[in-house]
Structure 1
């Protein structure tokens, strides 16, 4: 298992945000990833429109996951209409200690 930061962007509507975060957590659990930390970053203007949205609600997850499963996790994320964007970034080994 490797550690990753997962930045996610959701619509700012509360019901879509809640549905999106719930789905992200369930997809991660389905593929054996564990969420170590969840940090809300609040509502922010987007650099460009995504699905006709000009603002998004950002959440940063710290996740331990199997690197071989990331492609499948990202494929499931793309099916979620309540998740505008997501990005996995591998943490350096020095940060993991």
Structure 2
């Protein structure tokens, strides 16, 4: 297997997204599912490309930007930054 920078970062991004999707409390089922699907895709694609011995495989820039944004979003959702209080709504029942 050939492990280059792109393959390593793809696998790391996949593992981080999987961990966030499975372990963060307070995340909706929809967000959790997208995180697990995206993490699994990045993990499998990174390993798949590392196993190739010939050919050219492309890793678009979004492969590294989208997971970082997703992790920031999931952390904000888990710790309440995306709730109604952050949006200007009242959280005291009135």
Q: TM-score range by the shorter chain?
A: under 0.3
TM-score by length of 2: 0.27
Identify, as 1 or 2, the structure richer in strand.
1
Identify, as 1 or 2, the structure richer in helix.
2
Q: Which has the larger radius of gyration?
A: 2
TM-score by length of 1: 0.26
Higher RCO, Cα 8 Å, sep 6+: 1
